Amino acid sequence: MSNVHKTNPKEHNEYMFWELNEIFQKELPTAVMVYGDTDTTLAGAKAAHHLGLPVIHVEAGLRSYNEAMQEEINRVQTDQISTLLLVPNEAAQLNLKKEGIEGNGVIIVGDVMKDVIALRTSLSKNASVHYHYATLHRPYNVDNKVRLMGILDALNTLDQRIILSIHPRTQSRMNSFGLYPVKYANITFIGPQSYFENIRLMDESTSLITDSGGMQKEAYWLQKPCITLRPETEWRETLQNECNVLVYEDLGRIPKLLKRSFGPFDPELYGDGRAAQKIINSIYNRF
């Protein structure tokens, strides 16, 4: 694709649509596979559908039921035009059924992220270090100075050190708001991490504090208690047995929740670690 800067999100999405449309016309694929719930997911699905190409949606059927989230809009619209919907569990399958999407085009395959966790090599843990690991990037948490300051203040007063992997968006907002790392003695700020380094930091931590979607699952599979700084989650199964807890308005609950009882964890949640092979089989059988 051309390296063109687009400042308007709507224009940017239209640009992706037409660029992908052009690629698909040249390549003439049998089908187009999209993953997740990003803007590129929806752009790819729409471009394929526009040309009459079947759409395969991996991680279909998830719902947070928060229509203010762009990710929710992307999920719903992608599912509506998909031919093969590969869902992580029965709950996602039921979500689609409620929307009138059912039949042999909806297949439970599990979650490919669990495949990676299941196959990861044994991590060398540093048992002498005690910290809570945190990530923060969602607009409703970082784009408002009072909100972002409240979260950082809450983290700064916790009983253990915080390692905060700082997203570029969060870094930018902190700079513009004058919230400099030196003000937060209990927080160690580090840059964005590679996937496996991120997993290691989670695995060695006491608990995870995040507003990420995928990391809620990873914490669950690593059997780490999670506090999610959001009013809702599309991964509602992780909330069972308080393995994951939602905190949004009352940040003062965090210290007590870090000491909560949690578990047990369900080792079969979101599949058995063989989602990739099931996806391959599903695509092969269909096409």
Query: Which of 73, 77, 105, 110 is CA-nearest to residue 91?
Result: 110
At 11 the pLDDT is 84
What is the pLDDT, as a whole number, of residue 118? 79
Q: Identify the H or E element spanning 198.
A: helix 195-204
Average the pLDDT over 21-30 and give the result: 97
Helix axes 39-50, 70-80, angle to 10 degrees: 20
Report the 10 Å Cβ neighbour count for 254: 19
> Of residues 129 and 167, which shows the higher confidence score?
167
pLDDT computed for residue 2 by the predictor:
43
How many whole angstroms separate alpha carbon 61 and alpha carbon 166? 30
The per-residue pLDDT for 68 is 87
Pairwise CA distance, residues 16 & 92, whole Å: 28
Q: What is the pTM of this model?
A: 0.88
123 pLDDT band, cuts 50/70/90, is low
Average pLDDT, the chain: 94
137 is catalytic: yes
Catalytic hit among 57, 132, 137, 167:
137
Domain 9-111+272-286, classified CATH 3.40.50.2000, yes or no: yes
pLDDT in tens, 43-86: 999 999 999 999 999 999 999 999 889 999 999 999 999 999 99
Where do the structural domains in the chain lie, given as residue ranges?
A: 9-111+272-286, 131-257
Q: Which H helix or E strand runs over 41?
A: helix 39-50
**131-257 falls under which CATH superfamily?**
Glycogen Phosphorylase B; (3.40.50.2000)
